[in-house]
């Protein structure tokens, strides 16, 4: 897969992350917040089962070799999806996405700086800090009503 293809797919992922909370919040009006989150994960799980059956190259048998914290991604995902389902109707999609993106960027900068989870170390420079402050200022302007 080329870098261009990966960038296009990540752009599509960004679109999906922006649209998903509103779709799930709409479903929650009919079935409830936690129920909507459950349905979202169930549909996603079914879709991933098909993908794994058709093109999976890994080994689900190796799950026993994973550390406990390596299995928390689903829990974090469930928390994220449920919180967006609750927040979007109250705060609006743009405000929720702004807070999410700000949190992601700040966390990503810290994770890069400390080389979290054994990944590449990218120092937190004054230029990066300035960029994060500008993003935070933009987020504050977007959220302020």
**Residue 80 maps to a domain:** yes
Least confident of 50-54, 80-84, 85-89, 141-145: 141-145
For the whole prediction, is pTM greater than 0.85?
no
Q: How many CA atoms lie within 13 A of 107 on its CB side?
A: 7
Rounded mean pLDDT, 52-73: 92
Are residues 85 and 133 located together in one domain of the fold?
A: no
User: pLDDT confidence of 89, banded at 50, 70, 90?
Assistant: very high
CA distances from residue 109 to 41, 79, 83, 124 in whole angstroms, order as listed = 28, 22, 23, 7
Q: What is the DSSP string of 19-86?
A: HHHHHHHHHHHHH-HHHHHHHHHHHHHHHHHHHHHHH--S-GGGGGGS-GGGG-HHHHHHHHHHHHHH
Q: Distance between CA 29 and CA 15 in Å, rounded?
A: 22
Are residues 116 and 99 located together in one domain of the fold?
A: yes
- Domain total of the chain: 2
Are residues 83 and 29 located together in one domain of the fold?
A: yes
Are residues 81 and 23 located together in one domain of the fold?
A: yes
Q: Distance between CA 104 and CA 54 in Å, rounded?
A: 32
Instruction: Look at residue 119 and tell me whether its pLDDT is greater than 90.
Output: no
User: pLDDT confidence of 57, banded at 50, 70, 90?
Assistant: confident
Residue 26 · residue 93 · CB < 8 Å: no
Are residues 102 and 38 located together in one domain of the fold?
A: no
Are residues 31 and 81 located together in one domain of the fold?
A: yes
| Parent domain of 25 | 19-47+70-91
Are residues 100 and 74 located together in one domain of the fold?
A: no
Residue 17 · residue 40 · CB < 8 Å: no
Are residues 43 and 103 located together in one domain of the fold?
A: no
How confident is the prediction for the chain on average, in pLDDT?
92
pLDDT tens-digit profile of 40-51? 999 999 999 999
Q: Distance between CA 91 and CA 144 in Å, rounded?
A: 11
């Amino acid at each position: 897969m080329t870098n261009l293809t990966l960038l296009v797919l990540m752009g599509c992922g960004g679109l999906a992350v922006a649209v998903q909370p509103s779709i799930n919040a709409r479903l929650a009006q009919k079935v409830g917040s936690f129920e909507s989150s459950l349905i979202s994960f169930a549909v996603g799980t079914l879709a991933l089962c098909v993908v794994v059956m058709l093109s999976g190259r890994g080994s689900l048998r190796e799950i026993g070799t994973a550390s406990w914290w390596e299995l928390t991604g689903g829990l974090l995902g469930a928390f994220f999806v449920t919180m967006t389902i609750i927040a979007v109707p109250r705060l609006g999609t743009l405000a929720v996405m702004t807070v999410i993106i700000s949190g992601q960027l700040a966390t990503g900068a810290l994770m890069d700086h400390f080389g979290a989870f054994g990944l590449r170390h990218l120092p937190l420079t004054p230029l990066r800090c300035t960029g994060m402050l500008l993003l935070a200022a933009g987020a504050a302007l977007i959220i302020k009503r």
